Chain A
Amino acid sequence: SQQGEEDPQALSIQEGENATMNCSYKTSINNLQWYRQNSGRGLVHLILIRSNEREKHSGRLRVTLDTSKKSSSLLITASRAADTASYFCASDSWGKLQFGAGTQVVVTP
């Protein structure tokens, strides 16, 4: 399968809580990217972490990368109702993105 795995498949939390999701991939990568997708819409790029980086922050987002385990995590801190969406990781191998299965996050007020 060209898809990596993500867990959990779905996550329901309350506003203010943190949301953590994990992603595993199969091939060697140049970088790993995280995207969000609102229902039926296009993808929004969130953050890119290069293969020689271990952790990266952007606003309320924190991404880690462990190339030895071929895994990454995305943490959203102090979640808001507007964070409700599906989140996908995508491993980048020479420009070709392979997407994980996605985590559906629901943040309730």
Chain B
Amino acid sequence: GAVVSQHPSWVICKSGTSVKIECRSLDFQATTMFWYRQFPKQSLMLMATSNEGSKATYEQGVEKDKFLINHASLTLSTLTVTSAHPEDSSFYICSASGGPGTEAFFGQGTRLTVV
């Protein structure tokens, strides 16, 4: 299957700082990427849909000013958690799709810990 690389795998940051997470599709062009958040022992919650060259579409309850998404190219989407707080500590996972109705490929996830 296709490869989606997510970086970093884990990050620890101080409260109030910003953290950027990268999601790259290595061997195919992803017009759409998705960002999910997963709290311990819970399922994945879709945060936003990232479309190349346009603004991201955020799910209800997700603050777009706090979770900045940029999808500048067909192979790269970034999620920036701004002014991170301990409650933002979570597992963040991206996925890339070749189009509707096709298999989605997931990155390995980023574990964010805010202290």
Contact = CB atoms under 8 A, between A and B. Distances in A.
| Mutual binders A and B | yes
B95 to A, nearest CB: 7
Given A2-B59, A3-B43, A100-B43, A95 B101 contact: yes
A31 B1 CA distance: 18
Given A2-B45, A2-B46, A88-B43, A42 B103 contact: no
Given A99-B43, A99-B44, A40 B111 contact: yes
Given A45-B104, A96-B46, A102-B42, 14 more contacts: A2-B45, A2-B46, A3-B43, A30-B101, A33-B103, A43-B93, A45-B103, A45-B105, A45-B106, A95-B32, A95-B34, A95-B102, A99-B45, A102-B43
Interface of B: 1, 6, 32, 34, 36, 42-46, 49, 59, 91, 93, 95, 97, 99-109, 111
